[in-house]
Structure 1
Amino acid sequence: MTFRRSLTRIAAAAAALCSVLAVAACGGAHSADADGLRRVTFMLSWAPDTNHIGVYVASNKGYYRDAGLDVDVVAVAQSGAEQAVNNGVADFALSNLTNVGIYATKGAKLKQVMQVQQKTSAIWCALASNTAIQSPRDFDGRTFATFGSSESDAVVRRMIETDGGKGDFDKVTVGTSTFATLTSGRADFGGFYSTWEGVQAKMNGPELRCFTEPDYGVPGNADSIGVITSDRLIDDDPDLVRRFVQATQRGYLYAYEHGDEAASILVHDAPEANLDEAFVKESMQTIVDGQYWGERKRIDDGDLVFGAIDYNGTQSYFDFLAESDAYADENGQVVHQAPQSRDLATDEFLATDTTDKQ
Structure 2
Amino acid sequence: MKKLLLLICTLFVLTACASGEEDQTGASSSEDQTQDIKLVLDWTPNTNHTGLYVAKAEGYFEEQGLDVEIMLPGEAGADQLVASGQADFGISAQETLTEARVQDIPIVSIGAIIQHNTSGFASPKEKNIKSPEDFEGKTYGGWGAPVEKAVLSSLMQKEGADVEKVDIINMGNTDFFTAVKRDVDFAWIYYGWTGVEAELRGQELNMMYLTDYSDKLDYYTPVLTTNEEMIADNPATVEAFMAAVSKGYQYAIDQPDKAADILIEAVPNLDPELVKASQEWLSPKYQADAERWGQQDLSVWKNYAEWMYDHDLLDKKLKAEEAFTNKFLPEK
Corresponding residue SS for 1:195? helix
Give matches, 1:70-85, under 5 Å. 70-85=67-82
Q: Comparing 274-283 with 158-167, which one deviates more in the overlay?
A: 158-167
Q: Deviations over 1:60-91 (max 9, x none)?
A: 11111111111111111311000000111100
Q: What does residue 301 of structure 2 align with?
A: 314
Q: What does residue 145 of structure 1 align with?
A: 141
Give matches, 1:26-37, under 5 Å. 34=31, 36-37=33-34
Across the two proteins, how many residue pairs are aligned to each other?
Answer: 302
Instruction: Tell me if the contact between 2:210 and 2:217 (Cα under 8 Å) persists in the aligned partners.
Output: no
Amino acid of the structure 2 residue aligned with 1:276: D
Amino acid of the structure 1 residue aligned with 2:154: R
Structure number having the greater helix percentage:
2
Q: What does residue 263 of structure 1 align with?
A: 260
Corresponding residue SS for 1:41? strand
Q: Deviations over 1:108-164 (max 9, x none)?
A: 101011112110111201221113x22111102322111111111111111112233
Instruction: Tell me if the contact between 1:142 and 1:188 (Cα under 8 Å) persists in the aligned partners.
Output: yes
- CA 1:217–1:307 in structure 2 vs 1: closer, same or farther (change >3 Å)? closer
User: Which of 258, 276, 279 is 2:274 aligned to?
Assistant: 279
- CA 1:315–1:60 in structure 2 vs 1: closer, same or farther (change >3 Å)? same
Q: Deviations over 1:204-237 (max 9, x none)?
A: 1433211111222362423432210000111111
Instruction: Tell me if the contact between 1:96 and 1:228 (Cα under 8 Å) persists in the aligned partners.
Output: no
Cα deviation for residue 183 of structure 1 reads 0.8
Runs of 4+ in structure 1 off by over 6 angstroms are none
Is 1:87 paired with 2:84? yes
Corresponding residue SS for 1:339? coil
CA distance in 2: counterparts of 1:182 and 1:170, whole angstroms: 14
Q: Comparing 175-184 with 147-156, which one deviates more in the overlay?
A: 175-184
Amino acid of the structure 2 residue aligned with 1:294: Q
Instruction: Tell me if the contact between 2:141 and 2:185 (Cα under 8 Å) persists in the aligned partners.
Output: yes
Cα deviation for residue 338 of structure 1 reads 2.9
Corresponding residue SS for 2:76? coil
Q: Comparing 171-180 with 80-89, which one deviates more in the overlay?
A: 171-180
Cα deviation for residue 311 of structure 1 reads 2.1
User: Which of 234, 241, 246 is 1:249 aligned to?
Assistant: 246
Cα deviation for residue 344 of structure 1 reads 0.7
Is 1:325 paired with 2:312? yes
Q: What does residue 20 of structure 1 align with?
A: none
Cα deviation for residue 101 of structure 1 reads 1.1
Unaligned runs of 5+ in 1: 1-31, 328-334, 354-358
Q: TM-score, normalised by structure 1?
A: 0.80
Cα deviation for residue 352 of structure 1 reads 1.0
CA distance in 2: counterparts of 1:33 and 1:96, whole angstroms: 37
- CA 1:103–1:219 in structure 2 vs 1: closer, same or farther (change >3 Å)? same
Amino acid of the structure 2 residue aligned with 1:342: E
Instruction: Tell me if the contact between 2:149 and 2:163 (Cα under 8 Å) persists in the aligned partners.
Output: no
Q: Deviations over 1:296-335 (max 9, x none)?
A: xx56xxxx122111321232112111111123xxxxxxx1
Q: What does residue 21 of structure 1 align with?
A: none
